[in-house]
Each structure stands twice: as C-alpha cells, then as structure tokens.
Structure 1
Amino acid sequence: MIDISLAGIVDLGMAYQNPIALKFSILIIVVILAFEAREITAGLYSRVTVTIINGVQKDPYPTDITLHCQSKQDDLGFHILKLEESYVFSFKPRFPTGTLFFCSFTWKESPQRHYIDIYDFKRDKCKNCTWRMNKGGGCRDSDGTGAFDDCMPWKSVELMDVNNTSKM
C-alpha cells in the first residue's frame, strides 16, 4: 500500500483502515479551509462609505430634503439636508448574504415619499458610493469621476394625511 499524507496532518494509509480516522481527517481539513476562507472573505467585505448629496431644487428656491436610510439590521434615523449638503454613513457588508440599504426622501413641494436602493451588495461594487439626488431620482458617480451618469428613477408612494387619505 502507498503511504500518502496531506501536509503531514493525515496519514491516508491508516485512514483507509480506520473509518473514524478518515472522518476525523476530513473534519480537520474542512475546519482549516473554513478558517482560510474566513480570512479571504474578510478582505472582500471591507468597509463601504455612502455619500448622499441633496441636488433637489425647486426653481428658483433651494429645497431641503428629509432622508431616512435603513437596512434590515440598521436604522440610521432621519436627517435634513439643505441644497448641496451631504450625508455620509459607512458600514461593513454582512457575510454571506450581503447588505441592502434603502432610503426614503421627502421634501415640501412633493406630495410623495420617494425611495431608492442606495446600496445593494449584489449590484454595487463601490467602496465609496456617492449619490446626487434630484427631482427625478438619484444618480451615482459609479466610476469616481464626478459625472453622476448612472441614474435611477424614484420608487414613490403617495403621502397620507392624519385621516389616512391621500393628500392629492
């Protein structure tokens, strides 16, 4: 019989004779690989920073927006941004499912609450994701040039008054 060993840990010659030793050897290998995979994925899931800039303007006056961002695990609260002000947050994506952050936006002149997926782990590859919001939706600076040419329209719902009826 040929004597084969894996990195000096497992003697397969003995493992063929003893099924418990074979199972234990496989368990050791799986544990070692799991720790190695954990180290590799830690680098893949490094911190992400999201910047949201208020570019909503109702001519001729600047428009303040109220934004509220959250994920399944985190609620970042409400924030008010004046025209050209920004809100910045950062997080570490969850392993292995990733992270989805969505934000709602309202402003005085709009009868709707507007939503956009501001960060989707399956979609976004950026580590510094910058958005500029406007009346039609949000535009991303996807390549870091400041072009904001990757635009998405709002998902919107009508705001309700205290009687739970539409304000329109």
Structure 2
Amino acid sequence: MDSLKHHVLFITVILLMSATMSHAQKTKVVIHNDLGSGLSLAYHCKSGDNDLGYLRLGVGGSGLFRFKPDIFGRTLFFCRFSWINESHYFDIYKQKRDREFEKFGCTNCEWKIRKNGPCKLNKITNMFDVCLPWNS
C-alpha cells in the first residue's frame, strides 16, 4: 500500500509541475547591434531544443526571441555573432546566471553586442553596464 501512495504522490507532483510550467512566464531576449562603424551583425542562436536560425541585424537594428525557461534551471541559449571576418560565441541566456542574481537576473534580457563583447541591460541602473567577455 505504501508503494501505491508513493506512486500517487509522484504523479500528483508531476501534474502540478506540468501545470506550473504551462503557466510560467516567458522570458524575452533582445539583441541590439551596437558594433558601430556601419557594420551589420549576423547571428545564429540555439538551445539544446531550439535552433532559431541564421539572422542579420542592420546598423543599430534589434531582434528578439521568447521562450519558457526550464523549471529545473537548465535553460541555455548560445549564439554565434559574426561581422566582417570576426566570429564569436556567447551564452546569451544562461538560466543559472540570468535568473538567480538580483542585479543580473531578468525576464526581459537585453544585450548590446559590441566588438569587445556583449553588454547587458542592468535593471538597477537602466544602463548597458554589465559587460562580459566572449566565450573562450
């Protein structure tokens, strides 16, 4: 009988998690071309489950995508950014980084892509002053 109780409890937990996931708020990632020098920005973003395809932003252009983060904190979107003869990779959304810290966390994540690396909108200062290096 204890085994049956455990199975019922397990199924109840799974159903509650599924209901929570279906109502979870979507996260939005906005990418701004801040390369300057009249350069367009090509980019290709992916996660383990989604390939967003090859996209291009003109000078000063912006693009965005939305998704529901994993309830277990494992969501990762990485992008390859290219211009002229340069190409760099960056984890544009890393749930453990972007959801847990007050200064850095977001559900509306905005990034300016610059030649020396991406800079994220800081929700406290409302400036793009959280700059990170490209992935190594």
The two structures have a TM-score, normalised by structure 2, of 0.81
Structure showing greater Rg: 1
| 2:33 counterpart of 1:71 | no
| Percent of aligned pairs with the same amino acid | 34
Counterpart-to-counterpart distance in 1, 2:129 and 2:47: 25
Where does residue 95 of structure 2 map in the other structure?
A: 121
1:84 pairs, out of 55, 60, 69, with: 60
Where does residue 147 of structure 1 map in the other structure?
A: 127
| 2:81 counterpart of 1:101 | no
Larger RCO, structures 1/2 (Cα 8 Å, 6+ apart):
2
Contact residue 119 and residue 128 of structure 2 kept, 8 A = yes
Q: 1:31 to 1:57 in 2, by over 3 A?
A: same
| 2:107 counterpart of 1:132 | no
Contact residue 129 and residue 142 of structure 1 kept, 8 A = no
How well do the aligned residues superpose, as a CA RMSD in angstroms? 2.1
Q: How many Å apart are 1:101 and its aligned residue?
A: 0.6
| Unpaired stretches in structure 1, ≥5 consecutive residues | 1-20, 157-168
| 2:10 counterpart of 1:36 | no
Where does residue 86 of structure 2 map in the other structure?
A: 112
Q: How many Å apart are 1:94 and its aligned residue?
A: 3.0
The two structures have a TM-score, normalised by structure 1, of 0.67
Counterpart-to-counterpart distance in 2, 1:33 and 1:103: 34
Counterpart-to-counterpart distance in 2, 1:94 and 1:49: 14
Where does residue 161 of structure 1 map in the other structure?
A: none
Q: Deviations over 1:72-120 (max 9, x none)?
A: 1111111111221101111112343521111111112xx3311111000
Q: How many Å apart are 1:143 and its aligned residue?
A: 1.0
Q: 1:37 to 1:105 in 2, by over 3 A?
A: closer
Counterpart-to-counterpart distance in 1, 2:51 and 2:42: 15
2:32 pairs, out of 21, 35, 53, with: 53
Deviates more, 1:64-73 or 1:147-156: 147-156
Counterpart-to-counterpart distance in 1, 2:50 and 2:9: 36
SS at match of 1:103: strand
Where does residue 24 of structure 1 map in the other structure?
A: 4
